[in-house]
Amino acid sequence: MKQLDNRMDVAEQLIKALREDLTWRLDQLPMKENSSKDEEDVKQGARLPQQHAVHVF
C-alpha cells in the first residue's frame, strides 16, 4: 500500500510538472493576431499591415 501511495505522489508531481511545462510552451508560441504594438505602428504609418497574396489560376 505504501508503494501505491509513493507512485501516486510521483504521478501527481509529474502531472503538475507537465502542466507547468505546457503552459510555458503555450506562452512561448507567437500570437496569430497583431500585437497592440503592431497596431500602433500601422496607425502611425510606420509600417503597412501584413498582406497576403492571392493567386488566381
User: Which residue's C-alpha cell is 501527481?
Assistant: 12
Average pLDDT over residues 40-47: 59
Whole-number pLDDT of residue 38: 55
Can you tell me the distance from the alpha carbon of 14 to that of 9, in angstroms, rounded to the nearest whole number? Answer: 9
Higher local confidence (pLDDT), 41 or 18: 18
Whole-number pLDDT of residue 15: 98
The ranges assigned to domains in the chain are 2-43
pTM: 0.49
**31, three cell numbers:** 500570437
Whole-number pLDDT of residue 31: 77
